Amino acid sequence: MGGLPMARIRVAIINVTGYVGADLARILVRHPNVEIRSVTGRSEVGKKVGEVFPHLSQLDLTIESETADVDLVFCALPHKASAEAVIPLLKKGVRVVDTSADFRLKDPQEYQHWYEYAHPAPDALSRAVYGLPELHHEEIRNAQLVANPGCYPTSAILALAPAVKAGIVEGPIIVDAKSGVSGSGRTLNLASHFSEVNENVAAYGLKGHRHLPEISQELNALSKLGPLSLTFLPHLIPMTRGMLSSCYSRLNTGVTPRAENAEAEIRAMYKAFYAKSPFVQVVDYPPQTKYTLGSNMCLVHPAVDQRTGTLIVISCLDNLVKGAAGQAIQNMNIMMGFPEASGIDMLPLYP
């Protein structure tokens, strides 16, 4: 870059009025390589961003119904609405990071099964790249459309990918995930009503949560031992931001690492796996979500329950940053050739 300041690219945020959209705006306002040119909303059109979100009052933009011409669009709409907004952009040749689920699954049948309607642009699915930089860095660099992973899949896949790729677990795999409430979004809902959620913990999605097929798709692609048997159960806990996944699977018999020093070997293998990933830190202590609040870091801690030969991996992250907006910007950085950590190297807010 030879001493010259890099030109800023122009970006738009579709649906800035949800939590993911607002967090995209919050982080992008301070991004050295970006100018937010345009923001849209499904409600609040015509208002200044700062009227809806006082914490963004420095962002002097009016919420519009249509996106301006820009270099890259972040689409933060819910699924279905997102595909409808993204498809015309693709045709115009605009690069897109989509934070919805619409382009995450490769198989349109699988999409139809989980989302209960036919995908509106099945052809686009094969061209979209699953935006987990730790697994798909090269493809993301060249992608026109990046499908930003869900928060649960990010935490679960990062926790399990090294073990699955190494073939040291034979399943069944259990992913027991605990999420803060902001993951449910800003739309009103009795399940996000303060008096219902506070001082409460609840499992949900026992009949199958829509984030499961993403996790399976990505882990199966890494598995040498065939498709995995995966049970995923999310829980809502009384906090705003943060997600912790506790993953369990029996270690393969006869496979290194051996019981004696299994934990050390596995941890070393995890560290090697993520050696070039600036936003995954393999740690030697059980991590807590508080160590990630507001940051783009995912902390991963593999451990071995020697009594039962079980691999336990704890991962945690901020569901709106590494689990959504931060990771979307990480993907943009890779697509645009910016330093991967540009604008997203915030330290966690503690306590």
Please tell me the distance from the alpha carbon of residue 151 to that of residue 264, in angstroms, as a whole number. 28
SS3 182: helix
Contact pick of 201, 221, 225, 259 for a copy of itself (by CB under 8 A): 201
**Listed ranges 63-71, 83-91, 109-117, 190-198: which one lies at the site for a copy of itself (CB under 8 A):** 190-198
- Measured torsion, CA atoms of residues 293, 281, 28, 146, in degrees rounded to the nearest 10: -120
Sole residue written with tokens 């705003």: 240
What are the backbone dihedrals phi and psi of residue 255, each rounded to the nearest 5 degrees, phi first?
A: -105, 135
| Shortest distance (Å) from residue 329 CB to a copy of itself | 14
Contact pick of 290, 336, 341, 342 for a copy of itself (by CB under 8 A): 290
Please tell me the distance from the alpha carbon of residue 130 to that of residue 72, in angstroms, as a whole number. 17
Of the pair 26, 136, the CB lying nearest a copy of itself is at 26
Q: Cβ(24)–Cβ(13) under 8 Å?
A: yes
SS3 218: helix
* Residues within window 15-54 making contact with a copy of itself, judged by CB under 8 A: 19, 22, 26, 29-30, 53-54
* Residues within window 217-246 making contact with a copy of itself, judged by CB under 8 A: 229-231, 233, 235, 237-242, 244, 246
Question: Does residue 190 bind a copy of itself (CB under 8 A)?
Answer: yes
* Residues within window 77-96 making contact with a copy of itself, judged by CB under 8 A: none
Contact pick of 113, 172, 255, 259 for a copy of itself (by CB under 8 A): 172
**Listed ranges 81-89, 129-137, 159-167, 288-296: which one lies at the site for a copy of itself (CB under 8 A):** 288-296
Question: Does residue 4 bind a copy of itself (CB under 8 A)?
Answer: no
Contact pick of 66, 116, 199, 260 for a copy of itself (by CB under 8 A): 199
For the annotated catalytic residues, the residue numbers are: 151
What are the backbone dihedrals phi and psi of residue 247, each rounded to the nearest 5 degrees, phi first?
A: -115, 140
Contact pick of 122, 167, 286, 337 for a copy of itself (by CB under 8 A): 286
State how far Cα 222 lies from the chain centre.
18
| Shortest distance (Å) from residue 291 CB to a copy of itself | 5
| Shortest distance (Å) from residue 199 CB to a copy of itself | 5
Question: Does residue 276 bind a copy of itself (CB under 8 A)?
Answer: no
Q: Cβ(326)–Cβ(275) under 8 Å?
A: no
> What sign does the CA torsion over 14, 16, 19, 25 have?
positive
CA angle 112–236–345, rounded 5-degree value: 90
